[in-house]
């Protein structure tokens, strides 16, 4: 924070222009509590003021979309009366300041976004990125984040069934922690974040409000980092998964009994958001009494109560005659409940504290009148030089290269982390962590839901449009290998400082790339999150969009392909276009400390064909595996390691990561392949992995891959 000599609005993170806008809106100087409210709601984190203008580009329509972007979570129809709710969120800066609690509360927050919609959260995915594990600080952050995810996710009782772990120098000062959640609900259980009619009552459920997390949205999530940032630890919230578990069960029972008109979770901007947004959506006003808000400590100011991001709280809007039953349901689950407000006609949000009015503002203005910036954007001057860096992999010794790739903790097994996560609860996990896409059966139906989350900052630095589009296609391929068709996307755009024109250009290009690929696939974007200011000491992270793809397998393959199902004598086929020798942004480049060139652009037509073919093959073959990081060589090695069988293949450019490709394995004569879209490259068998005549022992490959993360942690 800045010095105390600064005017209050600047201390709260508002610019002078934004302060003037508040004065204009109110027609007077704002009171301190009012300034606090505008500062959190108009923060980058809550208002998307730098990105909003560009987010309209996303395709968001499809017949199966029930709720698109703008609510707490996106909702799509998956048939049989079931809806799926999904959302992704970042907790990057809190995790850098305090990794365990930062990651834990990231999990807690995304769960609330999903059960706010009426859904039971059924699974989580974590996308986490750090600097190299050779740095002690990065080890501390990595271990802390994994323990935070495990500690919260396991105890709250929602399985963590997949995700991605990656390491790159650019995340050393700014790790990325993105969490995606999927929930299920019956169509009639859908709840929206509305305050209902005048007369309805605002009931605050859950934990008492404390001083933790004050200014989290405005100070932590919406500003850049420097060496003083460790002093921001009080801005990180503290999570309590037991409270959240009780809150989930209490809310689901409220929905089951049809006791609420609307619900809003208290996340970023806390009570300010949970009163102004539902009132704004319903076009009503509200009276709120801060003296009725249960507080964890005495002497909290109105501003603190309004800004606190204390976790595990929900606001329910209830018809007056149902209030006793709501309170009784909360009491049964041992969840605290307090009547804190009443919905009023008009549009004014009035906040009282110690029997005095401390804020009186147009409710909708906090969300709707937030500034929208069209910040200047410009292609980075350094990009041409970067794209001109040559790297053709000449002299790559294939065996050594493959062994080195398998030892890379970004490629090696995630088992060190994912065996710390409960990934089996609810008995849905057909395919869990460590695979391309997770597959969750829908009990009582013949269907299954598939999810993949994918990110690749290196590709996106070299060409954000190409990189972002390829992520969408990769995620679609990853759900296709389970037999699912892509249904909906949520995205988390992690970028640097938007006040720099080149970062704004990266944002625009990223959005364009995601949009083009989603249009080609016919898949809507149903929600997302933008995390900006991911820079430390003036250095931005690579633009790192993360794409979460939901797919529907209808029906689910009777025996879904798995990496471990390869058997000696089976044929190995490569599906999709031939790989070129382009290694731009690849894992092999990282091995050699190079990042340059222009990655192979995606081809929408080929992408759609390949993904369709793979989704069909999922009903007929033993193994399907997406070709991505480390190319065909790593994809093949992973099949060999999982199945315990070696293989002999011949394939040009085995380390190329060119898009739209997958490997298929099946017994001879069981599948008729079209030579136009696929080619046989070899056979399963032996105790070695042999590519183009150069081989490594299977047991050595297995040892390198299985222990990659653990060895990097203890080296």
Kindly list the catalytic residues.
45, 91
Phi, psi for residue 140 in degrees, rounded to 5: -60, -45
Nearer to another protein (CB atom), residue 297 or residue 559: 559
- The least CB distance from residue 157 to another protein, in Å, is 3
Closest distance of CB 246 from another protein, Å? 5
Size of the site for another protein (CB under 8 A): 29
Query: Per-residue x/- mask for another protein, residues 400 to 429, rule CB under 8 A?
Result: ------------------xxxxxxxxxx-x
Pick one of 240, 309, 491, 638: the residue that binds another protein (CB under 8 A). Answer: 240
Element (H, E) at 491: strand 485-494
The interface mask with another protein, positions 630-659, x = CB under 8 A, is ------------------------------
Which of 241, 362, 398, 602 binds another protein (CB under 8 A)? It is: 241
> How far apart are CB 417 and another protein at their closest, in Å?
10
CA distance 649 to 682: 4
User: Rule CB under 8 A: is residue 313 a binding residue for another protein?
Assistant: no
Whether 180 and 88 have beta carbons less than 8 Å apart is answered as yes
Piece of 98-106, 241-249, 367-375, 487-495 that binds another protein (CB under 8 A): 241-249
**Phi and psi torsions of 502, nearest 5°:** -70, -30
Q: Which of 484, 623, 631, 488 is nearest to 547 (CA)?
A: 488
The separation between CA 198 and the C-alpha centre of its own chain, rounded to angstroms, equals 36
Q: Judged by CB under 8 A, which stretch of 236-244, 527-535, 571-579, 606-614 contacts another protein? A: 236-244
Binding-site member from 6, 16, 226, 242 for another protein (CB under 8 A):
242
Give whichever of 312 and 638 is closer to another protein, judged by the CB atom.
Answer: 312
Query: Applying CB under 8 A, which part among 62-70, 154-162, 192-200, 576-584 lies near another protein?
Result: 154-162
Q: Could you give the CA distance from residue 504 to residue 509 in angstroms, rounded to a whole number?
A: 9
The answer to whether residues 229 and 262 touch, using CB atoms and an 8 Å cutoff, is: no
Which tokens go with 478? 């990853």
Provide the minimum distance between the beta carbon of 150 and another protein in the complex, in angstroms, as a whole number. 5
184 forms beta bridges with 84, 120
Q: Check residue 150 for interaction with another protein (CB under 8 A).
A: yes
Give the nearest distance from C-beta 527 to another protein in angstroms: 26
Q: Give the nearest distance from C-beta 432 to another protein in angstroms.
A: 9
Ranges within 318-377 binding another protein (CB under 8 A): 332-334
Residues 443 to 472 in contact with another protein, rule: CB under 8 A: 443
Rounded CA gap, 200 and 207, in Å? 22
Tokens of 294: 């249960």
Query: How far is residue 563's CA from residue 475's CA, in Å, rounded to a whole number?
Result: 17
Identify which of residues 426 and 666 has a Cβ nearer to another protein in the complex: 426
Shortest separation between residue 124's beta carbon and another protein, angstroms: 13
448 in Cβ contact with 556 (< 8 Å): yes
Position among 180, 430, 541, 641 found at the interface with another protein (CB under 8 A): 430
Give the C-alpha separation, 533 to 551, whole Å: 31
Rounded alpha-carbon distances, angstroms, from residue 182 to 48, 88, 107, 448, 705: 23, 9, 12, 13, 30
- Count the Cβ atoms, other than its own, within 10 Å of residue 381: 9
- Residue closer to another protein (CB basis): 321 or 443: 443
Q: Is the dihedral of CA 118, 122, 128, 133 positive or negative?
A: positive
The angle at the Cα of 334, spanning 423 to 266, to the nearest 5 degrees, equals 70
Which residue stretch of 61-69, 234-242, 362-370, 685-693 sits at the interface with another protein (rule: CB under 8 A)?
Answer: 234-242
Tokens linked to 200: 């309805």
Footprint of another protein on 23-62 (CB under 8 A):
none
Nearer to another protein, 561 or 576 (CB): 561
**Which residue, 240 or 309, has its beta carbon nearer to another protein?**
240
| 2 binds another protein, rule: CB under 8 A | no
Closest Cα to residue 436, out of 471, 402, 482, 485? 482
Residues linked to residue 347 through DSSP beta bridges, in sequence order: none
Angstrom distance (rounded) from CA 41 to CA 143 = 32
Q: Does 1 bind another protein (CB under 8 A)?
A: no
Check: CB of residue 499 under 8 Å from CB of residue 44.
Answer: no
Closest CA to 275 of 361, 189, 369, 371: 361
To the nearest whole angstrom, how small is the minimum distance from the Cβ of residue 427 to another protein? 5
The C-alpha atoms of residue 534 and residue 10 are separated, in whole angstroms, by 21
Nearer to another protein, 246 or 465 (CB): 246
Kindly tell me which of 32 and 157 has the beta carbon lying closer to another protein. Answer: 157
Residue 155 CB, nearest distance to another protein (Å)? 4
Among 10, 53, 57, 245, binds another protein (CB under 8 A): 245
Q: Using CB under 8 A, list all residues that contact another protein.
A: 150, 154-157, 240-243, 245-246, 249, 332-334, 418-427, 429-430, 441, 443
């Amino acid at each position: 924070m800045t010095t105390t000599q600064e005017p209050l609005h600047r201390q709260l993170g508002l610019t002078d222009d934004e302060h003037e806008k508040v004065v204009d809106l109110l027609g007077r100087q704002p009171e301190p509590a009012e300034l606090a409210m505008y500062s959190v709601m108009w923060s980058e984190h809550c208002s998307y003021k730098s990105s909003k203008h560009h987010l309209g580009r996303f395709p968001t329509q499809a017949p199966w979309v029930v709720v698109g972007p703008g609510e707490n979570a996106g909702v799509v129809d998956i048939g049989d009366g079931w809806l799926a709710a999904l959302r992704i969120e970042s907790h990057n800066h809190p995790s850098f300041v305090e990794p365990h609690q930062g990651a834990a509360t990231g999990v807690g927050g995304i769960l609330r976004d999903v059960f706010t919609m009426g859904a039971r959260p059924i699974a989580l995915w974590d996308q986490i990125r750090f600097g190299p594990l050779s740095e002690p600080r990065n080890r501390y952050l990595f271990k802390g984040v994994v323990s935070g995810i495990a500690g919260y996710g396991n105890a709250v009782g929602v399985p963590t069934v997949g995700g991605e772990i990656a390491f790159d120098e650019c995340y050393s000062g700014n790790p990325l922690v993105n969490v995606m959640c999927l929930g299920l609900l019956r169509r009639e259980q859908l709840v929206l974040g509305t305050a209902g009619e005048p007369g309805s009552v605002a009931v605050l459920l859950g934990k008492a409000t404390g001083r933790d997390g004050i200014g989290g949205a405005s100070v932590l999530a919406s500003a850049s980092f420097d060496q003083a940032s460790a002093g921001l630890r009080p801005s990180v919230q503290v999570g309590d998964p037991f409270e959240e578990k009780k809150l989930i069960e209490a809310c689901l029972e409220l929905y089951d009994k049809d006791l609420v008109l609307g619900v809003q979770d208290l996340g970023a901007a806390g009570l300010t958001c949970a009163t102004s947004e539902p009132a704004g959506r319903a076009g009503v006003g509200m009276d709120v009494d801060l003296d009725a808000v249960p507080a964890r400590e005495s002497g909290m100011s109105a501003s603190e109560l309004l800004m606190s991001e204390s976790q595990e709280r929900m606001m329910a809007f209830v018809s007056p005659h149902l209030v006793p039953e709501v309170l009784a349901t909360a009491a049964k689950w041992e969840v605290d409940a307090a009547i804190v407000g009443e919905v009023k006609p008009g549009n004014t949000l009035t906040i009282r504290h110690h029997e005095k009015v401390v804020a009186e503002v147009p409710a909708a203005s906090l969300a709707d009148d937030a500034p929208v910036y069209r910040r200047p954007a410009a292609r980075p001057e350094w990009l041409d030089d970067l794209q001109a860096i040559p790297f053709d992999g000449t002299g790559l010794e294939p065996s050594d290269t493959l062994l080195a790739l398998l030892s890379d903790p970004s490629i090696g097994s995630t088992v060190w982390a994912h065996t710390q996560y409960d990934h089996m609860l609810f008995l849905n996990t057909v395919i869990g962590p460590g695979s391309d896409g997770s597959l969750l059966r829908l009990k009582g139906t013949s269907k299954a839901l598939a999810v993949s989350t994918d990110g690749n900052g290196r590709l996106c630095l070299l060409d954000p449009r190409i990189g972002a589009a390829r992520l969408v296609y990769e995620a679609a391929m990853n759900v296709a290998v389970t037999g699912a068709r892509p249904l909906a996307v949520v995205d988390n755009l992690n970028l640097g400082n938007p006040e720099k024109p080149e970062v704004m250009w990266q944002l625009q290009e990223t959005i364009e790339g995601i949009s083009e690929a989603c249009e080609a696939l016919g898949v809507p974007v149903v929600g997302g999150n933008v995390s900006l200011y991911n820079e430390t000491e003036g250095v931005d992270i690579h633009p790192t969009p993360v794409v979460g793809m939901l797919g529907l397998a209808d029906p689910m393959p009777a025996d879904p392909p798995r990496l471990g199902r390869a058997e000696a004598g089976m044929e190995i086929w490569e599906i999709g276009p031939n790989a070129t020798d382009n290694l731009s942004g690849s894992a092999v480049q990282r091995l050699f400390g190079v990042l340059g060139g222009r990655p192979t652009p995606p081809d929408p037509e080929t992408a759609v064909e390949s993904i369709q073919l793979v989704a069909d093959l999922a009903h007929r073959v033993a193994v399907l595996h997406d070709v991505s990081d480390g190319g065909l060589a790593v994809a093949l090695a992973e099949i060999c390691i999982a199945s315990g069988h070696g293989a002999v293949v011949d394939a040009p450019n085995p380390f190329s990561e060119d898009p739209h490709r997958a490997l298929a394995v099946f017994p001879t004569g069981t599948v008729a392949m079209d030579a136009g879209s696929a080619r046989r490259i070899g056979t399963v068998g032996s105790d070695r992995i042999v590519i183009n005549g150069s081989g490594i022992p299977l047991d050595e490959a297995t040892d390198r891959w299985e222990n990659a993360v653990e060895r990097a942690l203890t080296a």
